[in-house]
Every structure is written in C-alpha cells, then in structure tokens.
Amino acid sequence: MNELIRKRARYLLADTLNEPVLMFDTKNRLADFNKEAAEKFGISENDINVMSREYFENSVLQLTYEEEPSPNINREVVLQKEYASICYQFTVQPIQSKRKGFIGMAYAFKDISKQKMMYNALEKMSVYDHITGFYTSRVFASKIAEWDKE
C-alpha cells in the first residue's frame, strides 16, 4: 500500500512537471526523482538511497553554503553541460505528512535560461544604442558626471 501511495505522490509531484524534481528522505538520501532529473543531472536508479543531499548540492550543483541551508530556498544555479550553460531557479521545500510530520525535502528546478537571456538583452539595450553601439544619452550623461567628480 505504501508503494502505491509513493507512486501516486510521485506522479502528482514530479512526473506531471516538465522540469527536474528530486526528493530526499529524512536521512538526506535520494529517495526519488523524475525522468527530467535523470536526463539533466545524469542520475540513475542506482543512486537511490546512496546519493546524499550534500553530495548532490556540492558535486552536481557545485553549491557552497556558509551555513546549513534552510528550507524554502529559492535561488539560481547555472549548470554547464555540453558547451551550454543552463540557468535554473531551484526551490527546496520540506515534504510534510499529517501523521509523521517532516518526511523529506523536495528539490524543484525551473529552466530560466530564456528569461535570463532576454533580461541581459534588455539591459544591453538600455545601456547601448542599438544602431551606433555607443552609450545611450542617459548613460553617457551619467559617465560624464562621474568623470567630472574625479
């Protein structure tokens, strides 16, 4: 019965999303993941109950924390894969049960590469004139004001 509930929860939580999702148990071991996580991070069934959360964060995501990460993390991570950088926003949420309380952590990823690329293009357009390639008049005026202060 528990296996049936686990499979149903996995379907509802992970398989319906088209983004990587990983779930870790109370001992911080990998408990489950969806096919997108397997493709993006190279995780296999052999990693279940073997890979730790710390190993995943340090080796795969290459994150370093000055202190223990708190739940409800919402940050960006850039992964380099096959000559391309993929920018993800990832969220860490605790998984709670009414009877058992805390039963694990869920890592959900969202690909924000296109948004980052569009943001950078928009930022570049606000600084440089798209025809001449020179600073816009607003930026040029602020640069002249900086030079006058020196």
- The pLDDT tens digits of the residues spanning 33-91 come to 888 888 888 888 888 888 888 888 887 777 665 555 555 556 666 766 666 677 788 88
Tell the burial category of 110 from Cβ atoms under 10 Å away from its Cβ (0-12, 13-18, 19+): middle
The pTM of the full predicted model, rounded to 2 decimals, is 0.63
- The pLDDT tens digits of the residues spanning 79-137 come to 666 666 777 888 888 878 788 788 888 888 888 878 888 888 888 888 888 788 888 88
The pLDDT of residue 119:
83
DSSP state of 107: E
* pLDDT confidence tier of residue 1, bands split at 50, 70 and 90: very low
Q: CA 80, CA 76: separation in Å to the nearest integer?
A: 13
What are residue 23's DSSP bridge partners?
A: 32, 106
24 Cβ contact partners less than 8 Å away, ≥ 6 residues apart: 30, 31, 53, 56, 104, 105, 106, 107
The pLDDT of residue 73:
59
Measuring CA to CA, which residue among 14, 43, 23, 149 is closest to residue 97? 23
43, 30 Cβ separation under 8 angstroms? yes
Answer yes or no: is pLDDT of 13 > 70.
no
